[in-house]
Structure 1
C-alpha cells in the first residue's frame, strides 16, 4: 500500500508540474518524461514505447506517441492545459508561460514561491527597443531563458514561452505599446529575431541539418499575428474588431516583423490574434496561417491561438454563424495547432464525428506540438542545462545587467544649458515629487512575474543626495489636486527638483486603450506649479509606454531637462538616478513618434490606413507617413556629449546596375508630377523576379568631440526617388549603437541589400524596386549626412 501511495504521489506531482518532479520541497532524480525510473513508478515498461527510443528521429517518435492515443485523448492535448495520457506514460503539460521581459507567472506554466520566489524583471520592451542595441536584445533573451531553465529544473518553470509581442505601433492610443518594440517594422523585426535567438538558441547547434528538429533552449512565440493593435476603445474591442487593411499596408508594415521573426529568428511558434483581418478571423485564415507562415516562411514549430480566439469567433465575431464545431474545424484546417482555451477540447471530437475534419488533421497538429517538446528536451532532458538551479535566478550579475538594460533605454529629451548631469557636491538637497517618485510595481509594467527586488526612484536618488519626498498626486490618475501645493512647497526648499510623472497600467494596458495623449488628471498642474515655485533646476522624468503631449514642459523655461524612463524594470530607480547624476551618459532614442494631443481628435483609432488622407483630414501615422508636427520625432534622443559623423568616401552618388533578362517585365510607377518620371529604361521591376544579389556599402566614422564618454545610435534611412506617389517619406534600413570614448572615433559599416533596403510596395501589393536616385540618410537632425544611390536596370 505504501508503494502504491508513493506511486500516486509521484504521478500527481508530475501531472501538476511541466518540468522537474517535486515531492514536497525535494526534487526527485528525474526531470523528463522518458526516464526508466519514472515509468517503473507508474507501472509501465518504457522499452515498450517507441516514442522514448532516443535512437529514433523525433518525427518517428512523435508518430508513435500520437498513434497510441484515442481521438478523445488527442483533443485533450490541444488546449493550453494539456491533460496528458497516463496510460501511455504521457504527463500533463501547461503550454502557457510568458517571458516578455523576464519569466512571468502569467498563464500558470511557470510559478513563484518555494525554491524560486522571484526572477529578474528587465525593462519593458519599449525601453529595450529604445536602446537600438541588437546585442542587448539577444542577451536579455539569453538571461531570461537561463533563468527559465533553472526554474524548470526545480519544478517551477515551463519550456514554451509566448513571447515576444511584435505588433507594430500604428496608433499612439494603443494600450499595449509598452509591450512592443515601437513603430518601425524593420526595427520591430530586428528586435524580434534577436530576442528569439537569445531565448531559443543553444550554442553549437546552429548547423543542424534539418531546422525542424533543431534543439531549443526554450521555445519562443511571435505574437499577435496580425494587424492587431486595438484592445478596447469606444464602440469596439479586440474580440470583435475587423481590421480593414490594404495589401500594401499588410506587406509593408504588419507582416514584416513576423516574417523576420520566423525566417531570421527561427521562432518555434506563432500566435494568431483575436481580430479579423478583412472579414476573416486570423486564427481561421488559411492564407495567413498555412499559406504564409508554414509554406512561404517555413515555420519550424506550431501555431497557437491567443486565449480564447476560437471562442471569440463564435461569441463575439459571430463569423458565418458558426457553431463551436464549425469554428474549431475551420481553424484546424487553416493551420491552427493549439487553442489557448477550451474550444478545441470541447468541439474537435464532434467535428470529426460530424465529418467536418479528418482525424489525420488532428494528428498533424499534435505532431507539430510534440516535436517542439522533443526539441526542448521535455522527453529526454537537456543535460547542457542540468547544472542551472535556483542560484542562477536573481543572481547579482543578472540584476546588474537589468540595471544596464534600463540605462541603455533611457532617452534624454531636453537638457537646457547642460544642466544635467547634476553634481552631488552642488545639489545636496533634492526634492523628488510626483506620482511615480516612489514607484515600485509600476516600474515593471505588465506580463511581469515576481521581481527579485525593487529599487524605487527615491532609493536611487538617496545614494546621491538628501531626498525630500512629496507625492503631489494620490496616484497616477491624479483626480484630486489637494497634494499639488504641498509638492510645490517641497520644491521651494530644495537645491534641485525631480518630478517623476507619467502613466501606468491604470492609464494604458492590455484591454485598455487611451482616449487622449495627455498626462492624466492634474499631473500637468502639478508639474507647472512645481516648476514655477522651485528654487533650483527642475528635471521631469516621464514613465510611460506610449508618448504623451508634454509640449508645455518642453517649452517651459523653468523645466530645464526631461528624461523618458519608460517602464524601467526592477532596477529602474537606480538607473534613473545614475543618468541624472552623470554615472551614465544616456544614449537611447525614441522608438516611436510622440504626437501632440489634438492628433487623437483628428482620426478614429479604428482607421487602419497609415498613409495620409487629405480629403478626410487624416495626417498619416508613424514617422514614415505622418505629415504633421509632433512633440518629439521617432529616433530622437540627446546625450551629455557631442558626436560628429563623416562618410569615408569621396563620391556621394553610388551607382547600382541591376542586370535583368531581355524578357523582363517592367512595372509602371505613379509619380505625383509626370515630369519626374524616368524618361528611358525600366521604371521598376518586381523584386520576386530579381536575383537580388546587389549590395551597397557605406562606412561612417563617428567621433566623440565632447567631454564625456558615451554611446551613439547611428540610424540609417532609405528614401525613395522624389515624386513617387503614396510612398513613405523615409524608412529605417539599418542602425548601430557604438560606444565612443571622448576624443576617439569608431567606424561603423552599413551594408544594404538593394532589393530589401530600396524596394517599395505599390498600391496593388507588388514589392518593386524603382530605378532612379534613392537617398541614404545617415543620422538624424543636424548630424544627418545624405548619400545618393542611383539604381538603373540593364539587359
Structure 2
C-alpha cells in the first residue's frame, strides 16, 4: 500500500508539472521532460481501460465513456478528445504523446522501428524500444535489399509475423511500443543512394508487393484479416510505409535531404514514386505513412495537401495516421525556409495539409499559438487526434487483446525465429558467377580454405542499419569452420582498406589452401542514412586484394561481396582467375552460416538481383540531383533502372545463377483480349515513332475501365540437374513496339518455386490486363495500349505475344 501511495503521489506531481508546462508560452520542450516521465512511470504496457488501474489512480472507470467497450471506436475517440483542453490536445501531437493524467491517459511513445527486426533506434528519451537484461536482444533478419532478392512474398510475410510477435512480446514486457515506423519502401532511382540497403530495390511493383506483404505480416491478427470496417480491424502492431515521396537522396556532394527540392515529372510520380505507397495503403491496409524531408517541385512533402489529404485519404482511402519524418516540420522552417514562414505558420501549413503527427517538437511547441492566431482550427487538431487514437484503439492500447497477451520472453530469439533468419539469408544470396561449376565446394576435397578480406570475420557489419541487438552472431569464419579448416587473414586493416601491406599474408595463405574465399564490400561508413556514395567502386585496395590473391590461389577463388548498393566487379566477372562471385548483401545475424551453406552446397542459391549493377562510369553521366528516369540521347544519358536503362551492365536486374539447370515449357496461354468501349469510354492518343503503324484506337484510360479482363498462362519448369533447387520466376510485360517514351519492360509477376532434382513443377499465372499491360504517358495518364504486347519470362528464357484489341463504340 505504501508503494501504491508513492506511485500515486508521483503521478499527481507529474499531472501538476504537465498542467503548469501546458500554460507556459510555447518555446522548446526539452527531451529531458520525457526522460523524467519515463523513469517515473516506465514504458506503459497492458491497456489503458483497466478498471483496477483506474481504481489505483483514485478514479472511477465508469466516469469515462472512452473506456466503455460497448461503444464504437468513433464515439469513444470523440469522447476522449472532447474531454481535453486545447493545451492537452497539443501535447499529444508529437512522437512523445504526454497523455492526460487527469483522465488517466498515460504517456505514449509512437516511435519504434522494425525494418528487419525489432530495433532500438531513435532519439534518446523519445524511443519506446530498449534492450536490457530482461530482453537482451531480438532476431535480426537480413537487410531488406537481401530479403527482396529472394523474390518470395511468402517469406516476406513470414518475417513480418515473427518480427511483430517479438515486438508484441516486448510490449507486454514493457520494452517496446505498438507503432513501428517500418518498412522503407522508396524506390532506388540512383545506385549512389546511401539507404539502398533499407529498401526493396528499383522496381516499383516489386517494392509494392514487398510493402504490403511485410505490412500484412506485421499487422494482421489471424481471423481478423478480412473485417470489412477497416477503421475497427484489430492490429498486432501498427506498421508505417515511408518516406513519401520521391525521396532517394540523403547527402551527396553538398546536396542534402533537408533542403533538396526534387523536381519530378508527374509521369514519374505516377509510374514510379507513388505506386508502392498506393499498394501499401490499398492492399496492405497500413496503419500509417510517413512523409519525407524533401520538397517536391517547391513544396515540402509534409505540407502538400495534394500528396497527403487528397491522395492518401481521398484517392487511396488510408485508414490510419500520417506522421512526419523526424523534425520535418522544423526543417520546413529552419532549413527550407518555405514561404519564409514563422514556426506557427509552418505547423499550420502541415496540419492543414493533413499531417497528423509531428516526430519532433514543433507541433507541441507552436500549435497552441497557431490556433490563437487563427492560422489553424482546433477541429483540424481534433481530426488529427481522431486518426491517432483510432489506431491505438485498433492496437488494443485501450482494451488489450487477449490473443496477444500470452506473448513473452520465450517468443523472442526462439530457435524457430533464428532458423527463419538463417533461411532468409540463404534465400537472399545471389550467385553472380560460377565458372566451370567451381561451386559448390566439396568438404571432402576442399578440407583447408583460406578465408580472407575485411569482411571475413564480420559481425555487426552484417546487420546493417536500423537494427537492434541481435540474439547472437554467426560470422563467415564461424559458418565456414563448420565445413573445413579455416586459415584467416584480413588482408586489409578495415573496410576502407587504405593500406596494401597486409595483402601479402593473404597471398601466402591462398598458395597453400584448397580454396580461397575473399570477403569484400562496403559498410555503413560508405552507405547509410545521411551519406550517399560518389562512386560504385570497392573501397581502397580491395580490388587489388581480389586480383592478387586470385592469381596465386592453388584452388578456386570465390569472391563474396557484402554491400547494400551495387559495386563494379567487371574485372572479377571477366577474370579467369576468379571462379565465382556471390552477393551476400548485409545478411543479418546468421549471415555467416548462410554464406557457408551456399558455398558448400547445403543450400542451392535461388536469389535474384533486385537492382541493376551499373559500370563505374555510370556516375559520370548525370548528377544524383537529377530525378530523370528516362534516357536522354542529347545528354548522352542512358536512363535509370532496368525499365529505362539502355546501356551495358555489370549484372542486370533479375540476374542470378543456380547449381542446377532449369528448363521451361509454356503449357497453355491466353493470347488475345478484345475490349469494346462503351459510350462513356474514349480512345486516347499515344505518340508513335514517325511512319510506324498506329491503331485506330491507340489506348484507353485505365481508370475508365472495369479492369476485369485477365491473361492466364501456365509454365512447366523441369529441374534437369542433380541438385534440388529454387527457381525464381520473374514475369515481365513488354509494350507494343514503337510507342515513344514508355518503359522497355516491367515486372508484372514473380514466384519462387522449389523443385527437386529431375522433377517438374507447373506454375500458373493470372495477369490483370489493366495492372500488367499499362503504360504511363507524358501527361501522367495510366493507359492500356492497343496492339501487340509481349509476356516475357526471365531474361528472354520464354516469351509469347498478347494481342490487345480496343474497339471504339
Range into which the TM-score falls when normalised by the shorter chain: over 0.9
Counterpart selection for 2:619 from 571, 595, 600? 600
Counterpart selection for 1:429 from 426, 448, 455? 448
> By how many angstroms is 1:689 displaced?
1.3
Output the TM-score relative to the length of structure 2: 0.95
Q: Which residue of 2 aligns with 1:408?
A: 427
Q: Which runs of 4+ in 1 moved over 4 A?
A: 8-18, 21-25
Q: Distance in 2 between matches of 1:268 and 1:200?
A: 8
Q: Which residue of 1 aligns with 2:513?
A: 494
Could you say what secondary structure the match of 1:631 adopts? coil
Q: Which residue of 2 aligns with 1:7?
A: 8
Q: Distance in 2 between matches of 1:708 and 1:59?
A: 57
Q: Which residue of 2 aligns with 1:655?
A: 672
Q: Distance in 2 between matches of 1:330 and 1:201?
A: 34
Quick check: 1:710 aligned with 2:725?
Answer: yes
Change (3 A) 1:11 1:447: farther
- Number of matched residues? 786
| Preserved contact between residue 516 and residue 558 of structure 2 (Cα < 8 Å) | yes
Could you say what secondary structure the match of 1:675 adopts? coil
Counterpart selection for 2:131 from 112, 115, 130? 112
Q: Which residue of 2 aligns with 1:78?
A: 93
Q: Distance in 2 between matches of 1:119 and 1:125?
A: 17
> By how many angstroms is 1:386 displaced?
1.1
Q: Which residue of 1 aligns with 2:799?
A: 785
| Preserved contact between residue 181 and residue 188 of structure 1 (Cα < 8 Å) | yes
Partner deviation per Cα, 1:725-784 (whole Å, 9 max, x = no partner): 010000000001100001111111111111111111100111111100011102225x23
Q: Which residue of 1 aligns with 2:21?
A: none
Counterpart selection for 2:218 from 165, 180, 199? 199
Partner deviation per Cα, 1:481-536 (whole Å, 9 max, x = no partner): 11111121221121110001000101100000000000011110111111112111
| Preserved contact between residue 774 and residue 791 of structure 1 (Cα < 8 Å) | no
> By how many angstroms is 1:598 displaced?
0.1
Q: Distance in 1 between matches of 2:680 and 2:309?
A: 33
| Preserved contact between residue 10 and residue 41 of structure 1 (Cα < 8 Å) | no
Q: Distance in 1 between matches of 2:14 and 2:39?
A: 6
Q: Distance in 1 between matches of 2:428 and 2:65?
A: 50
Q: Which residue of 2 aligns with 1:88?
A: 103
| Preserved contact between residue 683 and residue 808 of structure 2 (Cα < 8 Å) | no
Q: Distance in 2 between matches of 1:12 and 1:777?
A: 68
Could you say what secondary structure the match of 1:785 adopts? strand
Quick check: 1:466 aligned with 2:480?
Answer: no
Q: Distance in 1 between matches of 2:724 and 2:3?
A: 68
Quick check: 1:580 aligned with 2:580?
Answer: no
> By how many angstroms is 1:235 displaced?
2.5
Counterpart selection for 2:174 from 136, 150, 155? 155
Q: Distance in 2 between matches of 1:663 and 1:257?
A: 29
Quick check: 1:231 aligned with 2:261?
Answer: no
Q: How does 1:335-346 map to 2 (within 5 A)?
A: 335-346=354-365
Could you say what secondary structure the match of 1:294 adopts? helix
Q: Distance in 2 between matches of 1:22 and 1:143?
A: 29
Q: Which residue of 2 aligns with 1:294?
A: 313
> By how many angstroms is 1:412 displaced?
0.2
> By how many angstroms is 1:307 displaced?
0.4
Quick check: 1:173 aligned with 2:187?
Answer: no
Output the TM-score relative to the length of structure 1: 0.97
Q: Distance in 1 between matches of 2:4 and 2:656?
A: 66
Counterpart selection for 2:738 from 693, 715, 723? 723
Could you say what secondary structure the match of 1:338 adopts? coil
Counterpart selection for 1:59 from 51, 57, 74? 74
Q: Which residue of 1 aligns with 2:404?
A: 385
Quick check: 1:305 aligned with 2:338?
Answer: no
Change (3 A) 1:9 1:451: farther
| Preserved contact between residue 141 and residue 199 of structure 1 (Cα < 8 Å) | yes
Quick check: 1:220 aligned with 2:249?
Answer: no
Partner deviation per Cα, 1:119-160 (whole Å, 9 max, x = no partner): 000000000100000100000000000000110111101100
| Preserved contact between residue 474 and residue 590 of structure 2 (Cα < 8 Å) | yes
Which runs of 5 or more residues in structure 1 are unaligned? Answer: none
Quick check: 1:670 aligned with 2:687?
Answer: yes
| Preserved contact between residue 167 and residue 223 of structure 1 (Cα < 8 Å) | yes
> By how many angstroms is 1:791 displaced?
3.1
| Preserved contact between residue 34 and residue 96 of structure 2 (Cα < 8 Å) | no
Quick check: 1:373 aligned with 2:374?
Answer: no
Q: Distance in 1 between matches of 2:406 and 2:598?
A: 37
> By how many angstroms is 1:13 displaced?
12
Change (3 A) 1:488 1:8: farther
Partner deviation per Cα, 1:452-471 (whole Å, 9 max, x = no partner): 00000000000001101000
Q: Distance in 2 between matches of 1:387 and 1:22?
A: 26
Partner deviation per Cα, 1:252-307 (whole Å, 9 max, x = no partner): 00000000000000001000000011110000000000000001000000000000
Q: Distance in 2 between matches of 1:674 and 1:745?
A: 46
Q: Which residue of 1 aligns with 2:570?
A: 551
| Preserved contact between residue 638 and residue 645 of structure 2 (Cα < 8 Å) | yes
Q: Distance in 2 between matches of 1:199 and 1:434?
A: 37
| Preserved contact between residue 66 and residue 77 of structure 2 (Cα < 8 Å) | yes
Change (3 A) 1:541 1:346: same
> By how many angstroms is 1:12 displaced?
9.8
Change (3 A) 1:17 1:345: closer
> By how many angstroms is 1:619 displaced?
1.0
Could you say what secondary structure the match of 2:616 adopts? coil
| Preserved contact between residue 371 and residue 377 of structure 2 (Cα < 8 Å) | yes
Q: Which residue of 1 aligns with 2:27?
A: none
Which runs of 5 or more residues in structure 2 are unaligned? Answer: 19-32
Could you say what secondary structure the match of 2:234 adopts? coil
| Preserved contact between residue 675 and residue 804 of structure 2 (Cα < 8 Å) | no
